[in-house]
Structure 1
Amino acid sequence: MSSHQGRARRNSDCTAGGSRPVARAPHRRQRAEGADQAFVIGVLTNAADFARARAWGVTDAPDFERYLADTAELLADALERFDTVRARMFHPQDFAEFCLLHGLDPAEAAARDRYLVNPPLRTQLLPYQGEELAGDYLPRLVRARENGLTLCHADLLLDGALYGAAQGAEGEADEEHVRWVRSAYQRGGEVFRRMLVGAGAGVYELRLRVDAPGGRLTAAARVLQWEDGVVRINDEDLELVCAVLCAGLALELPGVAVLHGSQGSAATCGEYLPAAWAWSSGGPDWGPAARPVRLDGVAARPGYSLGTVC
Structure 2
Amino acid sequence: MAHTTRRAGRGAAPLRESAGTVAVIADAGGFALMRRYATFRFTDHPSYLRQTEGLLRALAGRHGHTSVALFDPVGFAEFCEREGLHPDSPASRARYTAEIAARGATVPYEGQPLARLVPDLLAEQLRWETWEAGTDLLAAAGSCADCGAPQARCAFQRAAALLARVLEGTRPGVHHLVCSLIAETGPLTAALHAGRGPDGSLDMAEPEAMVLCTLLAVGLATGDPGGLVLRSGSPGQGQGEEVRGWSLQLGRLRGLSEAEVFSAYCTDVRTGEPVPPEHGVAYRAADDLPPAGCPEP
TM-score (norm 2): 0.69
Change in CA separation of 1:94 and 1:138 when aligned onto 2, cut-off 3 Å: same
Cα gap change, 1:72 to 1:193, in 2 (>3 Å): farther
The residue that corresponds to 1:19 in the other structure is: none
Is 1:78 paired with 2:59? yes
Amino acid across the alignment from 1:153: A
- Report the counterpart of residue 207 of structure 1 in structure 2: 178
Measure, in 1, the Cα distance between the counterparts of 2:200 and 2:51: 40
1:139 shift after superposition? 0.7
* Whole-angstrom distance in 2 between the partners of 1:56 and 1:235: 40
Instruction: Tell me the secondary structure at the aligned position of residue 274 of structure 1.
Output: strand
CA distance in 2: counterparts of 1:304 and 1:4, whole angstroms:
51
**TM-superposed deviation, 1:50:** 3.1
| Root-mean-square deviation over aligned CA pairs | 3.7
Contact 2:234-2:241 at 8 Å conserved across structures: no
The answer on whether the counterparts of 2:229 and 2:243 sit within 8 Å (CA) in structure 1 is yes
The answer (yes or no) to whether the contact 2:138–2:217 under 8 Å persists in 1 is no
Q: Find 1:304's aligned residue among 267, 287, 294.
A: 287
- Counterpart of 1:95 in structure 2 is 76
CA contact (8 A) 1:249 1:284 kept: yes
Q: 1:123 touches 1:144 (CA, 8 Å); kept in 2?
A: no
Q: Which residue of 2 aligns with 1:41?
A: 22
Deviation at 1:240, TM superposition (A): 1.9
Q: Which residue of 1 aligns with 2:243?
A: 276
Instruction: Encode CA deviations 1:37-84: one digit per residue, 9 max, x unaligned.
Output: 432221122344334334435754554444333323333343344444
Residues 1:289 and 2:256 aligned together: yes
- Residue 89 of structure 2 is aligned to residue 108 of structure 1: yes
Aligned-partner SS, 2:242: strand
Count of residue correspondences: 263
Correspondence for 1:117: 98
1:230, distance to aligned residue in structure 2 (A): 5.2
Q: Distance in 2 between matches of 1:275 and 1:57?
A: 55
Q: Is the 8 A contact 1:126 1:144 kept in 2?
A: yes
Matched with 1:153 is: 133
Structure 1: stretches of 5+ with no match in the other structure: 8-27, 162-175
**1:128 equivalent in alignment to 2:109:** yes
Displacement of 1:134 in angstroms is: 1.4
